[in-house]
Every structure is written in structure tokens, then in C-alpha cells.
Amino acid sequence: MLDPRSDDARRVEGLWWVLFWISCAVVAVVTGFLLAAVRRRRAELHSEDDIDEDDIDRRPVPWGDRFVVIAGAAIPGGILAGSFAFSLVVLNDMGSVDDRPLEVEVVGHTWWWEVRYPNGAVTANEIRIPVGETVQLALPTADVIHSFWVPELQVKKDHIPGADNQLSVVADHAGRFRGQCAEFCGLQHAHMEILVVAMPADEFDDWVEREAEPAAEPQGAAAEDGRRIFERASCAGCHTIRGTSAEGTLGPDLTHLADRETLGAGVVRLTPESLAAFITDPQDDKPGVSMPPTELTPDQVDAVVAYLTELE
């Protein structure tokens, strides 16, 4: 929240600082009264004799009721009403008005994000968007409630079964923006990272066109081996690589896997070594994930890795 990279995020940050300073003032006033009371304390604190029935002060406090009403109700009431009104203004300003936003579908899964573009491009966990343009995210879920939260860009919104939630996002300059699922969704809720990558519009257009294309043909024997193994082993039962016979939909689309920075929704950085380890036993990196340890031999894993690391 303190590092806004979009207009909406800046609006929320501004609201935060207003509320923060008002709160500081309130806490300061209350602390001031507490300290004033402490200063009035009885000097002798050490014996039973302090507490003496003749010492009860029964005098009325003439300013008491007025103080309680003004300091306790009227002034706070005014501040609260003003804060409410201001918050409504900010709320009203949020969300872009754009005639033809780019519509991207982000489907929440346990524990990864499926990302679908209008031209048929499908990827996972990384969402590339054009700088400066409104992107309208649709937020369905495949299973339980998730919450899409990229603090630098936007407030969060939940993925609710049966609901049709939408969230608009505009990045005002290029960069990488990290987010995380914000609704407890089970064992690996902690490892459901989102990466939003904002790129100049023309670069984005090139990228999304490439991303919609089927997978590159394998270069070299190892990669060819790898593809064959992939298609015939259990991999294809859960994963899709467009252009091959692998059409599983339980796990992420891997057509352009090598284009991504991380594996397992951010649990490890994507390198050939980490990919091999992840395939061998994903439960090591992300215990509880649906992907089981592999039945492939280490050589077979290497071949698959050789193939997958070519899929940009």
C-alpha cells in the first residue's frame, strides 16, 4: 500500500495517510489525558494507609458531562462523519472508466492462477499487461474462495464460486508487481504468488500474439525425447501444451513455461535445476500440492526439462 504504482493505489495510499494522521492525533490526545491523570497520582504509594475511606472525593465534576459529550461524542462524530464522506469520495473515484478495456480472465485454483487472454493465450501465475491501459480482470474460481491482491496496483477482490467478480487494473509505468492470494485457501495458501508484469503496449501486443501460438517445436534429440515422454507419461493427464497431444486441465498450461520467472506460483525461481527438482518431487517444494512425485527416471526428467526449458 505504501508503494503505489497506479492511480487507484495512490488514492488508497492518500486515504491511508489522512486516516493515519487523524488517528495519531486521537491517540496523542488520549495519551495526553492518561499522562495528566498519572501526574495527579498520590505521592505515597507504599502503605495500606493510602487507601482511606475518608479520602473519597464526592464532589460533583461540573465539566464532566459536557466533556464526555463534546470530547467523546460530538468531536469524534464530526471527525468520523468527515472521514466517512472522504472515504466515499475516494471509493467513487476508484476503478477506471474505459470503453474497451482489455479483458483478462484470472481463474483461482488451489494453489495457482490460470490466466486467459481474449486471443486464446493461456498462461499461469504471471499476468502481463500493457502499460497505461485499463485491464479488466474477471475473477472466477475453480474451487474455493481465493483473493486477488497486488498491493502496488489495486485493492483486492475475492474469487467467489457462483459470483462474477471483476477488478480493473491500470499500471502507469512498466515494471514487475508482486501479489499474493489473500483469502485462506488451504495448505499452500502461503505459496500462491501473483506476478503482474506491465510492458509497453507494442511489446505487450507482440507478447500476447506469441503466447497464443502453440508450443515451439523441440530442438535437438533431448528435447524431442522430452516431448515424447511428456505426452505419454502422466504429465499430459494434468497439463496442456498447445500443439501437442497433452491436453490436461488440472494443472497450469505449460505451452510457454520458459517465459515465466517462477515455478509453483512463486515457490521457486525457474531454472533447469529447480524444474528438475520440482518434477522429481513437487512435495518437497510445496507439500500438499496436487502434483505427485514423478514416476520418471532421472534421465527422463532431464529430457523433459530440456524440452520444457525451450518453450518460450
Partner 1 sequence: MTTTAAPEAAATTISTVERLDAVWAEPPGLGSWLGTVDHKRIGLRYIYTGMAFFVAGGIESLLIRTQLAGPDLDVIGPEAFNQLFSMHGITMMFLFAMPVFSGFGNYFVPLMVGARDMAFPRLNAFGYWVLLASGFFLYSSFLVGRAPNAGWFNYVPLSGEAFTPAINIDYYAVGLIFLGISSTGGAINFIVTILKLRAPGMIVSRIPIFVWGELAMSLQIVFALPALTLVSVLLLLDRKFDFHFFDADAGGDPLLWQHLFWVFGHPEVYIVALPGFGIASAIIPTWVRRPIVGYTYIVIGELSVALIGFGVWVHHMFAVGLPNITLGFISLASFMVAIPSSIQVFAWLATLVAGRPVLRTPLLFVLGFIFIFVIGGVTGVMFAAIPFDQGVHDSYFVVAHLHYVLVGSAVFPIFAAIYHWGPKITGRLLDDRLGKVSFWLMFVGFNLAFFPQHLLGLFGMPRRVYTYDSDLGWGGYNMASTIGAFMLALGILVTIVNWFRSRSRGAPAGNDPWRGETLEWYASSPPAHYNFVTIPTVRGREPMWDQPELAEGVQPPEDGGRPLTDGHVTLSTSMLDARPQAIVHMPHASVWPFLLAVALLVLAFAVLLDNWALTVAALVASVGGLIGWYWPRGQTQET
Residue among 45 and 202 whose Cβ is closer to partner 1: 45
Q: How far is the CB of 153 from partner 1 (least distance, A)?
A: 11
**What secondary structure does DSSP assign to 48-93, as a single string?**
GGGS-GGG------TTHHHHHHIIIIIHHHHHHHHHHHHHHHHHHH
Residues 80-109 that bind partner 1 (CB under 8 A): 80-81, 83-84, 86-88, 90-91, 94
Sheet holding 175-180, edge to edge: 126-130, 193-199, 175-180
Residue among 13 and 213 whose Cβ is closer to partner 1: 13
Residue among 17 and 173 whose Cβ is closer to partner 1: 17
**Binding segment for partner 1 among 120-128, 155-163, 212-220, 295-303 (CB under 8 A)?**
155-163
**Binding segment for partner 1 among 153-161, 216-224, 248-256, 290-298 (CB under 8 A)?**
153-161
Return the DSSP state at 98.
-
- How many residues contact partner 1, by CB under 8 A? 88
Q: How far is the CB of 51 from partner 1 (least distance, A)?
A: 5
Q: Does residue 143 belong to the site contacting partner 1 (CB under 8 A)?
A: yes
Residue among 126 and 310 whose Cβ is closer to partner 1: 126
Give Cα 231 to chain centroid, integer Å.
33
- Radius of gyration for the chain, computed over Cα atoms and rounded to the nearest angstrom: 29
Residue in 127, 255, 102, 262 with CA at minimum distance from that of residue 199: 127
Whole-number Cα distances in Å, 146 to 45, 113, 165, 241:
56, 10, 12, 26
Q: Cα–Cα distance between 44 and 250 in angstroms, integer?
A: 74
What angle is formed at CA 51 by the lines to CA 50 and CA 55, rounded to 5 degrees?
A: 95
* Strand partners for 223: none
Q: Does residue 271 belong to the site contacting partner 1 (CB under 8 A)?
A: no
**Binding segment for partner 1 among 64-72, 196-204, 235-243, 298-306 (CB under 8 A)?**
64-72
Angle, in degrees to the nearest 10, between helices 7-39 and 75-93: 170
Q: Which of 107, 122, 153, 182 binds partner 1 (CB under 8 A)?
A: 182
Q: Which of 76, 118, 120, 214 binds partner 1 (CB under 8 A)?
A: 76
Residues 199-238 that bind partner 1 (CB under 8 A): none
Q: Which of 2, 49, 99, 202 binds partner 1 (CB under 8 A)?
A: 2
Q: Which of 10, 72, 221, 245 binds partner 1 (CB under 8 A)?
A: 72
